[in-house]
């Protein structure tokens, strides 16, 4: 999984930059293309050749282009974040930080003659360990696919038409409420254990490649302090 630091596009930061009122604040955001691709391929999904995620233009949308599949059924996936909630805390036993997140998604897999829609929720709890690594658990809830609209909308296969189609099928009955996700009952639940180990360079620094093609690093020994 990858996360990186970026200057948040907020009114406060824009005023600081434009009026010289101080140093803008950085935020940690997720590399959704890298993480979505890794999770999809790890779960046995179609391999991904490329992706697009622009958090400034639309932080709720990820586009994944599939590599050529044997049956040629799907060529790309549009993934939308429908709802998200998060909380932080500390382990009562050792005081280590804990992060909990719930995100609900809608995916639209598109092929030459096929469109497939799915909705699911991912609930993740991760604890930062003393050595800088992390461990936790994850539950994936799969919901019934929303009712389709006429194929004329879906088969246009443009980014704008997919967004319209997704909006048309998001009726009141599909609204989200609270960290438990969709009001409808889940069709299936899958539980996983998570072990995350930081990847270090030869000198012990922790680095990550960002979507803008530059590398961010924490100095050697930073997480051992």
Nearest Cα neighbor of 100 from 84, 124, 122, 120 is 124
**Mean of pLDDT values over 123-131:** 90
Q: What is the predicted pLDDT for the residue at 126?
A: 92
Q: What is the predicted pLDDT for the residue at 21?
A: 73
Tell me 85's DSSP state: E
Which residue intervals of 148-218 are DSSP H helices?
151-154, 159-168
Percent residues over pLDDT 70 in the chain: 76
Give the integer Cα–Cα distance in Å for 163 and 157. 10
Examine the pLDDT at 98 and tell me if it is beyond 90: yes
Report angle CA 74, 79, 82 to the nearest 5 degrees: 145
Examine the pLDDT at 28 and tell me if it is beyond 80: no
Q: Between these two residues, 10 and 28, which has the higher pLDDT value?
A: 28
Give the integer Cα–Cα distance in Å for 212 and 225. 29
Q: Between these two residues, 224 and 98, which has the higher pLDDT value?
A: 98
pTM of the model: 0.71
Neighbours of 28 (CB within 10 A): 9
Which residue intervals of the chain are DSSP H helices?
11-19, 32-42, 151-154, 159-168
Nearest Cα neighbor of 141 from 199, 83, 86 is 83
Examine the pLDDT at 224 and tell me if it is beyond 70: no
CB under 8 Å, gap of 24 or more: what pairs does 165-171 form? 165/108, 166/78, 166/80, 166/106, 166/108, 169/117, 170/82, 170/106, 170/146, 171/146, 171/147
**Mean of pLDDT values over 160-167:** 45
In order, the DSSP letters of 14-47 are: HHHHHHT-SPPPEEEEE-HHHHHHHHHHHTT---
- Sign of the C-alpha dihedral, residues 208, 209, 210, 216? positive
Q: Please provide the average confidence, as pLDDT, over all residues in the chain.
A: 75
Q: What is the predicted pLDDT for the residue at 125?
A: 92
Q: Which two tokens stand for residue 72?
A: 């040629």
Lowest-confidence pick of 10-24, 46-60, 166-180? 166-180
Cα→Cα distances 30→96, 142, 147, 209, Å: 22, 22, 30, 12
**Mean of pLDDT values over 210-223:** 73
Q: What is the predicted pLDDT for the residue at 90?
A: 92
Q: What is the predicted pLDDT for the residue at 136?
A: 92
């Amino acid at each position: 999984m990858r996360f990186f630091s970026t200057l948040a596009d907020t009114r406060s930061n824009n005023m600081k930059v434009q009026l010289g009122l101080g140093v803008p604040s950085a935020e940690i955001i997720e590399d959704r293309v890298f993480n979505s691709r890794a999770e999809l391929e790890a779960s046995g999904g179609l391999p991904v050749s490329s992706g697009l995620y622009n958090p400034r233009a639309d932080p709720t949308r990820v586009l994944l282009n599939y590599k050529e599949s044997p049956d040629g059924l799907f060529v790309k996936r549009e993934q939308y974040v429908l709802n998200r909630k998060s909380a932080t805390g500390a382990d009562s036993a050792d005081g280590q930080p804990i992060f909990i997140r719930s995100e609900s998604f809608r995916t639209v897999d598109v092929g030459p003659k096929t469109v497939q829609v799915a909705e699911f929720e991912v609930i993740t709890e991760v604890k930062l360990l003393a050595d800088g690594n992390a461990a936790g658990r994850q539950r994936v809830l799969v919901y019934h696919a929303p009712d389709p609209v006429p194929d004329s909308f879906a088969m246009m296969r443009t980014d704008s038409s997919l967004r319209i189609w997704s909006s048309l099928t998001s009726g009141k009955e599909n609204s989200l409420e609270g960290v438990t996700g969709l009001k409808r009952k889940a069709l299936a639940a899958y539980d996983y254990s998570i072990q995350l180990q930081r990847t270090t360079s030869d000198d012990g620094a922790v680095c990550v490649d960002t979507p803008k093609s530059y590398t961010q690093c924490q100095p050697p020994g930073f997480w051992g302090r």
